[in-house]
A and B are shown apart, each in its own frame.
Chain A
Amino acid sequence: MCALRGPVCSFLTRLRRILRIVSERTIVSLIFLCGVSAVIFVFGIFFFVFREGAPFLRHGFDAKEFFLSPDWYPTSATNKRYGILAQLIGTGTVTLVAMLVAVPFSLGAGIFIAEFCGKKTREIMKILIELLAAIPSVVWGFIGLMVMNPLIIWLTGAPIGLNVLNAGVIVGLMSVPIIVTIAEDAIRAVPDTYIEAAEALGATRWQLVRKVILPAAKSGLLAAVLLGVGRAVGETMAVLMCTGHSINIPFDGKAPFFHVLDSVRTLTATIAAEMGEAPRLEVNADGTFPAEALHYQSLFVIGIVLFAVTFVINVTADLIVKGIRKRK
């Protein structure tokens, strides 16, 4: 193997061995770094958001006003108010409409892909649905603005088509891919023995789905819907473009109580729209912040609220999915 003799040869073999050990260790530590980076980033973001929002929590924060007042006047010269009730309701209503649109479609599509269509159709459908997930959210917003907007005005006679309905439909369509994918997985995870048993008893395809597959897959389907909700709550660009972005609570005491054709504003859109013009001011010498600094900080507190909501939704969905795996 070694053309050279004596000390040169032994030096080369030793060098090769050292190199091998070093490169092995480098690669292992690189892979380790990649593995932990996700954790580091999550905690990093968490830390950053909290650090920026903390002064507001310490000084200007009044939980009752913050969550229960619809008055959002962070830039008022005389009377700054920070109430996010309208945005909370905006996010809630858009998510609700989105789920009303997405859940029936997605579960139907999931059932169709998993149980009813042939192999070829399934492959094509899956590719198309993944393609749906790849459409940038600004393009969805554009569709809401240029297609849905005139359509809603034409159909309903509303003065403006940028409202809960528009954003709900757009965000609903955006959440379809994730719900379909998870729902299909949940349905296909139903053990074949159940299906075989039901078929041998003479169940038709639809009876099989309704009486065996859906009950057996129900927690997976719930997890799918929850992940869709998480997606809808977190969506920013499309809702910013489609909701009309006005501080407004789409409810009143008169029938029909919930006005789906009202414009609203969501938590995410508030941050996206205002972050650019809110100044990040340094702390004064006496430890207080200038009043103008609270706007920037309050946006981060909204971020914390969003973070908490999506965290809870995702963890719940995750626990449900884990529960399914454990039972098998």
Chain B
Amino acid sequence: MAANQQHAEYAIETSNLNLWYGDFQALLNVCTKIKAGIITGLIGPSGCGKTTLLRCFNRMNERFENVRVEGSVEILGSNIYDPEVSVVELRKRVGMVFQRPNPLPLSIYDNVAFGLKVHSPWRSLYKDDIDAAVEKALEEVFLLDSVKDQLHRKGTDLQLEQQQKLCIARLLPLKPELLLMDEPCSALDAAGTEAVEDLLLSLRGRYTIVIVTHNMAQARRISDECIYMLNGKLIEHGETSDIFLNPKDKRTEEYIEGRYG
């Protein structure tokens, strides 16, 4: 968002972020600043903590038992691990897209309107407003034309690619500042991947996007900056072209070259 970019250059700032699953430490002293308005890719081998880091940004890690977090994550100026922070409010501002498309077992319309309904006081919404918001969101993800006449259809009946777009669309009526994507294309075929990538590029600038990906080529295609992680540590954070062309760290270089991972 242009307005936010003026106010704050960084959308997310973590300092000394540590996270444990029981006795296992999954994040070690992660300190990073993620710029607002661009696409940042999180890369690294399996189990390096990139999904865990992503899930810290909307506190989804708290769904699991035995999770302990230390350090701070500032999102647009406030520490989201402060005790007075409302998780509900946080998740309204920070949307998340999952690895497997997970539309709710409701109609397409209700899927997109879900967030709006959840965050509005009872009976404060007018049907016209919801209709307009749903239409706008579907338009933004290039889904409106194909589902315009079947908004009552179940979201779970769509093709995977459309489902994933729907999962992105349902975040937009809440006007989030941040979109977190956890390997959003790993369940899709090549055409679907391309469609979703095009969508992400079209959303770039309006939203700050953080995307976890296993796919090096994808990180290269769509991200502006990349964060390389290994064994719970942040190894390198820089512009995508730098990371891929002249990485500073030996481990990054080896990973990019495909020596491991």
Contact = CB atoms under 8 A, between A and B. Distances in A.
A76 interface: no
B88 interface: yes
A204 interface: yes
A215 interface: yes
B247 interface: no
B98 A201 contact: no
Interface in B75-91: 87-91
Interface string B96-135: 1010101111100000001101110000000000000000
B105 A207 contact: no
Given A197-B167, A211-B118, A202 B88 contact: yes
Contacts of A207: 118
B114 A193 contact: no
Contacts of B167: 197
A171 B60 CA distance: 43
A198 to B, nearest CB: 7
A201 B95 CA distance: 7
Interface in A129-156: none
Interface in B49-66: 58, 60, 63, 65
What size tier do the contact residues of chain A reach? Answer: 10 to 19
A212 interface: yes
Contact of A200 (B58, B105, B106, B119): B58
A198 B114 contact: yes
A212 to B, nearest CB: 6
Contacts of A203: 88, 114, 118
A215 B106 CA distance: 9
A320 interface: no
Q: List 6 tightest A-B contacts by C-beta distance, closest first.
A: A202-B91, A193-B102, A200-B96, A197-B102, A201-B115, A202-B88
Given A196-B60, A207-B118, A201 B102 contact: no
A199 B115 CA distance: 10
Contacts of B98: 193, 196-197, 200
B92 A202 contact: yes
- Among A200, A212, A215, find the residue whose CB has the most chain B CB atoms closer than 10 A: A200
A147 B104 CA distance: 48
Interface in A201-247: 201-204, 207, 211-212, 215-216
B105 A196 contact: no
A199 B103 CA distance: 12
Given A202-B92, A207-B118, A211-B118, A197 B103 contact: yes
Interface string A252-288: 0000000000000000000000000000000000000
A246 B55 CA distance: 65
- Among A119, A197, A215, find the residue whose CB has the most chain B CB atoms closer than 10 A: A197
B104 A198 contact: yes
What size tier do the contact residues of chain B reach? Answer: 20 to 34
B105 A194 contact: yes
Contact of B91 (A194, A200, A215): A200
13 contacts: A196-B98, A197-B98, A197-B103, A198-B104, A198-B118, A199-B91, A200-B60, A200-B96, A201-B95, A202-B87, A203-B118, A211-B114, A211-B117
Contact of B104 (A197, A202, A204): A197
Contacts of A212: 104-105
A15 B96 CA distance: 69
B104 A199 contact: no
Contacts of B63: 196, 199
B171 interface: yes
Contacts of B115: 201-202
B64 to A, nearest CB: 11
B91 A201 contact: yes
B237 interface: no
Nearest to A194: B104
Given A201-B114, A201-B174, 11 more contacts: A193-B102, A198-B104, A198-B118, A199-B91, A202-B87, A202-B89, A202-B91, A202-B118, A202-B174, A215-B105, A216-B105
B214 interface: no
B119 A202 contact: yes
Nearest to A197: B102
A203 B104 CA distance: 12
B35 interface: no
Interface string B28-65: 00000000000000000000000000000010100101
B170 interface: yes
Interface in A170-197: 193-194, 196-197
- Among B63, B87, B114, B170, find the residue whose CB has the most chain A CB atoms closer than 10 A: B114
Nearest to B92: A202
A298 to B, nearest CB: 50
B168 to A, nearest CB: 12
A200 B95 contact: yes
Contacts of B65: 119
A94 B177 CA distance: 57
Contact of B102 (A196, A202, A204): A196
B88 A204 contact: yes
A201 B180 CA distance: 12
A297 B236 CA distance: 87
